[in-house]
Amino acid sequence: MNDISRRDVFRHGATAAVLVATAAGFASLASSGATAGPGRVAAADPRDFEETYKGKKIKGEHDKDKGKHKVHINGKKLGVMQVELPVAPDSTATYTAVLSTLNHFDPVPLDEGNNRDGLKKLAKLAVDQLGDQELTHDADHPHP
Amino acid sequence: MGTRKSVAALTATEKSDFVAAVKALKAQTSGRNYDWFVRTHMTYFNAVNSHNYAHMSSSFLPWHRKFLLELENGLKAVNPAVNLPYWNWTANRSTTGAPFTSDFMGGNGSGGNGAVLSGPFAGSTRWRINVSATTSTSLRRAMTLRGSLPTTSDVDTVMGVSTYDVSPWGSSSGSGMRNRLEGGLTPNLHNRVHVWVGGHMAQVDSPNDPVFFLHHCNIDRLWSRWQTRWGFGTAQYLPGGGVANVVDVEEVLEPFGATVASTLDHRAGYTYA
Ligand SMILES: [Cu+2]
């Protein structure tokens, strides 16, 4: 599915944007690698984030290979699922999107081009949905 | 045999009987009580035994048909006169009209995304949220902030698609009736209504809002309408067999222990008015 979606991104004319994003990605990987301490396990995805939004700490880690992205809000894990959706009726081309246990019927496009901030958008949507609430342990539903 | 009516056609007694039965199922302390339905929906949102039984799959419609029947049977155990009503959102499009009246489902959340303030499900002493992805113990709604309600012409478009579903039988199916009805594909009849109601209805624990069952009853009615036009037989459900990790027509829907084929012709059990 991941390979298919990446091919489709190219097929849909986002080639230039993807290449630019990838180049920028390598650059930031190289610089973070230079300053990283010995405890560092894996190189971060350039789209990863950790910031405060509407008073809540949002943290996102991308999993480009398997699509098992991680989002935490105030330290609690939000269940995130990556899905493939058709770009149009009667087309076999698809795009990649993410949804969460709080925004379950409202997928947000995610790629390395124009939608590179898709996971952060999803985290912010979840914060909007939460309002004065916090996540429970049931927000992290089991994944296969 | 039961007749499922529109929420707009219910009498005052039918409304109060329905609410009372739902509350009795909530208060039940064992078996398939109301919170069992919330928990089951959460569990089955994901793949179970490598099958997507409930969502983003061909079996979205038969799985929810069984889910509704199970709930309706639970309500009938309390009061045999109760039938599930449906919310036809192409006709009833107001946040204050049926079903969102104070004698039935109650109204919107306070301040746009807060607790429901009116009706029998307002506040945690009347209706307590026990199983949820979020900490609120009161039912929440955020109507109209996101999403939208489908129109009659959206429904007609979906009803005119003769093929039930197409490969790969999931969210990415580029054609077929099922994905257009479920919402992976435009015009999207199901997903955006969850989003339009908002609050708990937008979450994985959406059955916490009893409106869930009225919305899904309408989805089931539309499938029934499609079946009336194109056929109730097993040949009208796809895939017919041999597709790994997809519930084929003779495969069993869990946790109900019933095959898809057994759900297709519902007319001996209930009909729609
Ligand atoms: Cu639904």
- Whether residue A93 contacts residue A10, with contact meaning beta carbons closer than 8 Å, is answered with no
Amino acid at A67: G
Taking any CB pair shorter than 8 Å as contact, residues of chain A touching chain B are 79, 81, 83-86, 88-94, 101-106, 128-131, 133-136, 138-139, 141-144
For residue A83, being part of any structural domain is answered with yes
For residue A144, being part of any structural domain is answered with no
**B168: number of Cβ within 10 Å:** 19
- Residues A73-114 have pLDDT tens digits of 999 999 999 999 999 999 889 999 999 999 999 999 999 999
For residue A128, being part of any structural domain is answered with yes
CA distance B36 to chain A (A): 14
- Residues B102-153 have pLDDT tens digits of 999 999 999 878 999 999 999 999 999 999 999 999 999 999 999 999 999 9
For residue A1, being part of any structural domain is answered with no
Q: Which residues of A touch B206 (CB under 8 A)?
A: 104
Helix, strand, coil tally for chain A in percent (to 5)? 35, 25, 45
pTM: 0.89
- Percent of chain B scoring above 90 in pLDDT: 90
Name the least confident of A28-42, A90-104, B177-191: A28-42
For residue A122, being part of any structural domain is answered with yes
B96 three-class SS: coil
Query: How many angstroms does the Cα of residue A13 sit away from the middle of ligand 1?
Result: 34
Tell me the C-alpha to C-alpha distance, in Å, between residue B25 and each of A110, B16, B66.
41, 14, 17
The first and second tokens of residue A84, run together, are 């493939």
- The half-sphere exposure of B44 on its side-chain side, counting CA atoms within 13 A, is 21
Residue A102 has its nearest CB partner, among B56, B133, B190, at B133
Domain count along chain A: 1
For residue A110, being part of any structural domain is answered with yes
CB proximity B162 to A under 8 Å? no
Q: Which residues of A touch B174 (CB under 8 A)?
A: 86, 88-94
Ordered domains of chain B (ranges, CATH): 2-272 (1.10.1280.10)
For residue A30, being part of any structural domain is answered with yes
pLDDT band at B49 (very low <50, low <70, confident <90, very high): confident
**A121: domain CATH number?**
3.30.1880.10
For residue A76, being part of any structural domain is answered with yes
What is the Cα B231 distance to its own chain's centre? 22
- Decide if pLDDT at B92 tops 60: yes
**Which structural domain range is residue A24 located in?**
6-139
